[in-house]
Every structure is written in structure tokens, then in C-alpha cells.
Amino acid sequence: TWRRVYWAVLVYLACVILAAYWFTRAYR
């Protein structure tokens, strides 16, 4: 049952990194 939770956390991490990358590019 935990497999989906783990994948959700990893997808969340990918989204956070993409958002941080966009933020860096936008305000460079």
C-alpha cells in the first residue's frame, strides 16, 4: 500500500526542483 505514497513524494520532489529551477531562471 505504501508504494503509491513513495512515488507521490518523489514526483513532488521533481515538481519542487522544476519550480526552483524556473524561479532561478525568472529572476536571474
Partner 1 sequence: MRFVQAYFGLPIAMVVICATVVPVFYRARVYTAYEYLENRFDAKTRSLASVIFLCQRGLSAGLTIYAPAIVLSVILGWPERATTMLMGMVVVTYTVIGGIKAVTWSDVQQMVVIVLGLLVALVTVIVMLPHAVSFGDAVYLAGAAGRLNAVTTNFNWNDRFNIWSGLIGSTFLFLSYFGCDQSQVQRYLTGRSLAESRIGLLCNAVAKIPMQFFILFIGAMVFVFYVFVEPPVLFQHTELQRIAQVSEYSGVETRYHEAFERRRDAALSLAEAHRAGDKAAHAHGLAEYRGAQQSLDAARTDAARLVEANGGEPGFSDTNYIFLSFVTRYLPAGLVGLVIAVIMAATMSASAGEINSLATVSVVDIYRRHFRRGASDHHYLLASRWATVFWGVYAVAFAGWGKKLGSLIVAVNVVGSLFYGSLLGCFVVAFAFKRVGGTAVFLGMLAGELAIFSVFLHGGISYLWFNVIGCVVVVGVSLALTWAAPGVFAKARVDERV
Q: What's the CA gap between 10 and 16, in Å, rounded?
A: 10
Tell the smallest beta-carbon distance from residue 9 to partner 1 (Å). 5
Tell the smallest beta-carbon distance from residue 18 to partner 1 (Å). 9
Tell the smallest beta-carbon distance from residue 27 to partner 1 (Å). 3
Q: Note the residues at the interface with partner 1 (CB under 8 A).
A: 2, 5-6, 9-10, 12-13, 16-17, 20-21, 23-24, 26-28
CA distances from 26 to 3, 16, 19, 20 (A): 35, 15, 10, 10
